[in-house]
Amino acid sequence: MRSVRADVTRPQDMSRRYGLNKNLTWKISKILGDDSLETIARHLPGRPGFVILLRTLKGHGAPDDLCARLQASLDTFDLFVRDHAGDRETFASMTAALAGGEAQREELARKAAFQGNSAIFGVQARLQCALHAVFPGSAPDRASVAVVCGLVDLRRLRRGVSWPVAFLRSGEDGGSELALRSTPLDPRVKRGEPAIMHDFSTIDASDVRLAKNDGALRRWELSEGPLGKDGSVTCLVGSVSRDLVSLRRTEKETVGEHIVSLTTPAEEFVLDVLVHRSLPLACEPSSAAPEAFLVSQLPAVPVYPHEARSGAFLPLSEAPVPIGRVEDLALPAFAEYQRVVETVCAAGNATFADMRAYRLRFRYPPMPALAIVRYPLPE
């Protein structure tokens, strides 16, 4: 960094000067300004981020030998992580445990809640995943949004347990724009059925029952079934809403938000946000990098964002990280996930290369809560 006269104590200036993502320069500033093993492990950028950084440094005159030494060090570090921890996330948890890091303390608390909630509610999932993709709409100032939500390896821990897996809000709720414009991603879904993505689910409409129909919100629940791993199921639901949202800031709407409800005990949570590169949301400077929040839904009312209490925000050390390649979206718990991403991109007449992507990922999501990825809307 010194070779290109970068001031690592001023990450925002680095971001503007070199055209780098603000999250990336913030992480570089953190690891170069703190020799704590836990801090370095927690903030060290992933390989896609380092590829961008190396390319930028070379473009601004960094010597080739220094760049080669950095690349060699990264390769050695990745081998070390693979041999001793398996992956970056596990390594960060290990080092946080040694140092008593904040992220590790948060995860330990969430894990205890996960174990308790699993026993109390009699159900748990290996993974809760969500994918939100924003595409150009039919008008210059509008965008379409595809949403996928899923529970992977959902298993019952005691008899007589059913569990919600899909919701449908109808147009009878006062003209909900989302409901009126929404269509299932899977064309085989019949009118009035849950929008199950059959290619990626191990259940179909016959395995769920309509639990509630008050004219506005329909809730489908997984019927009772075998206990444990032998009875585990995977269910993904997905829909696309055309011309749903505005692309520009208004007096009432200043931020774009992607919200996922956390209501199931799960070992891991992943939210991927994809925005088409042609949209102004993706063309904003690095200052528009998204942020992540956890918001408690206790007590039941008021819920976010209406009159949300300041105390409702829960601790979350993890932040959305940029994803450069579709291969980097692979999830060990869900081998078919890359195909899900490709299917969603195709619904917007795009490929992953056309999208700018961010991922929020952490273990043992708290419940009931909302996971929110938020970014400022452009003027």
Residue range 230-243, pLDDT digits in tens: 778 888 888 888 87
pTM metric for this prediction: 0.69
Which pLDDT belongs to residue 36?
66
Single-letter amino acid, residue 352: F
More confidently predicted of 330 and 205: 330
Cβ-proximal residues to 172 (8 Å cutoff; 6+ apart), any chain: 215, 216
User: Above 90 in pLDDT, residue 4?
Assistant: no
**Second-level CATH architecture of 102-376:** Sandwich (2.60)
Q: Give the percent of the chain with pLDDT over 70.
A: 83
For the segment 229-277, what is each residue's pLDDT rounded down to a tens digit?
877 888 888 888 887 777 777 777 777 889 898 999 999 999 999 998 8
Which pLDDT belongs to residue 361?
93
Which pLDDT belongs to residue 376?
80
CB contact at 8 A, 235 and 165:
yes
More confidently predicted of 13 and 215: 13
Which pLDDT belongs to residue 364?
94
User: Above 90 in pLDDT, residue 53?
Assistant: no
CB contact at 8 A, 245 and 341:
no
Instruction: Compute the average pLDDT of residues 335-344.
Output: 92
Average pLDDT, the chain: 80
Which pLDDT belongs to residue 174?
41
For the segment 68-111, what is each residue's pLDDT rounded down to a tens digit?
888 888 888 888 888 887 877 677 666 665 555 567 778 888 99
Which pLDDT belongs to residue 169?
52
Where, residue-wise, is CATH 2.60.40 in the chain? 102-376
Which pLDDT belongs to residue 170?
47
Which pLDDT belongs to residue 179?
46
More confidently predicted of 39 and 274: 274
For the segment 155-206, what is each residue's pLDDT rounded down to a tens digit?
988 887 777 777 655 443 344 444 456 888 888 888 877 788 889 988 877 7
User: Above 80 in pLDDT, residue 15?
Assistant: yes
For the segment 106-119, what is each residue's pLDDT rounded down to a tens digit?
888 899 999 999 99
Which pLDDT belongs to residue 139?
79
Instruction: Compute the average pLDDT of residues 355-373.
Output: 92
